[in-house]
Structure 1
């Protein structure tokens, strides 16, 4: 089986054309990036606002946990029935999956800032947005990045569902391999998804070193 997978990777046709590994890899990265960016644009502002003001946090976290319980393939099926095939149903499903960890970690990161630090910032003349963006956000950033990393890995793994609604990505190898009963294609596609997830993990580790102040690089615990 291992030799079959190696042989599958070494076929010349796997590296050229619209069905080749580079093209499928690029499609998968595109779908994943779109889903993660849309999720971050929704979840981070809500998490910052509710965490900073202390209002609406319970409702936001409850909604996020409810969305987390939804089966992604079920969400995809419902959206496809309502909107038809295409990229939009995939993005809706990915956003529903990725928003909860980003929102919860952002909220908890801001709420976890020491109240004495807030008092000191206000004593220095900071007000409202200044406290949020100059104090709370930098301190919460490590936990926010954990939420983003968790969401990104989940999105990369789940973006394989794009193949079920007729578009590309690495999931095509898994779906097509199942229909053709070619185990080497299924395993090859799965290994590519794992490789992309590892790349994403490495990129977030690098981002953490660049974006987080040295004194805040204590490993935070991801919110379950």
Structure 2
């Protein structure tokens, strides 16, 4: 309990939020690497996932790639890429590492969003004369958006937690107080850094959860509400039961 109190006292100390290695600067570095990596991964993975979901081809390759990418140890990959890129290109090596980490979730979210669409909706769109491009942008993309945002949510959480290892190659981020605290045996600093990473991840998760909910088309939400109403009537025990009179 004293360690936790010391960690929060360290976080609350004004001197920790000033200077070039202040927590506000490290937090900005953490968010910068996360945003860059997820953005680059989205440019690669989302069009590929949409192509797989729209055509139905290449799903097995995508699943195999996603599984292999998830199995790669992030720290080992970072060290390998730093050696391959050279010490003068450590930011590029770190970015590639985090991009590889983000791609599987984005790829899965993109094609799973299309696969989850009722095929009768696609057939109806073709029946009214829509072109394949119109079906893609007017039907599949809007209906598949919630699962794609879910893929973004998973990718952001994975990357923002893993960016802490960037401190091991002197790139800053919230991993810096963790490794510094370990070397100095100041465990309140280690815990404070870990708490800050956890709070950042929780905040991003909450924001992306709201975005995922907002991404559901209004028509789909209305259909879900109408479908839920009969279930509530069929299961009256789910309703609020007033207490028995004494």
Shared fold, TM over 0.5: yes
Provide runs of 4+ in structure 1 moved above 4 Å. none
Is residue 2:200 matched to residue 1:193? Answer: no
The Cα of 1:11 is off from its aligned counterpart by 2.3
Question: Structure 1 120/167 Cα, relative in aligned 2: closer, same or farther at 3 Å?
Answer: same
Secondary structure at 2:130 match in 1:
coil
Partner residue in 1 for 2:64? 62
**Which of 210, 213, 218 is residue 206 of structure 1 equivalent to?**
210
CA distance in 2, matches of 1:205, 1:182: 35
Is residue 2:21 matched to residue 1:19? Answer: yes
CA distance in 1, matches of 2:178, 2:209: 29
CA distance in 2, matches of 1:182, 1:142: 43
Greater Cα offset, 152-161 or 55-64: 55-64
Partner residue in 1 for 2:232? none
Is residue 2:173 matched to residue 1:169? Answer: yes
Normalising to structure 1: TM-score of the pair?
Answer: 0.92
Is residue 2:130 matched to residue 1:97? Answer: no
The Cα of 1:193 is off from its aligned counterpart by 0.5
CA distance in 2, matches of 1:70, 1:97: 9
Cα-to-partner distance string for 1:130-161 (whole Å, 9 max, x where unaligned): 11111111111111111110111011100001
Root mean square deviation of aligned Cα: 1.4
CA distance in 2, matches of 1:34, 1:116: 38
Is residue 2:119 matched to residue 1:115? Answer: yes
Please tell me whether the aligned partners of residues 142 and 216 of structure 1 are also in contact (alpha carbons under 8 angstroms).
no
The Cα of 1:110 is off from its aligned counterpart by 0.8
Partner residue in 1 for 2:136? 132
Please tell me whether the aligned partners of residues 30 and 160 of structure 2 are also in contact (alpha carbons under 8 angstroms).
yes
Secondary structure at 1:96 match in 2:
helix
Is residue 2:77 matched to residue 1:75? Answer: yes
Unaligned runs of 5+ in 1: 219-224
CA distance in 2, matches of 1:116, 1:6: 55
The Cα of 1:215 is off from its aligned counterpart by 4.2
Q: Which has the larger radius of gyration?
A: 2
CA distance in 1, matches of 2:16, 2:131: 57
Question: How many residues of Structure 1 are paired with residues of Structure 2 in the alignment?
Answer: 218
**Which of 147, 151, 154 is residue 147 of structure 1 equivalent to?**
151
Partner residue in 1 for 2:55? 53
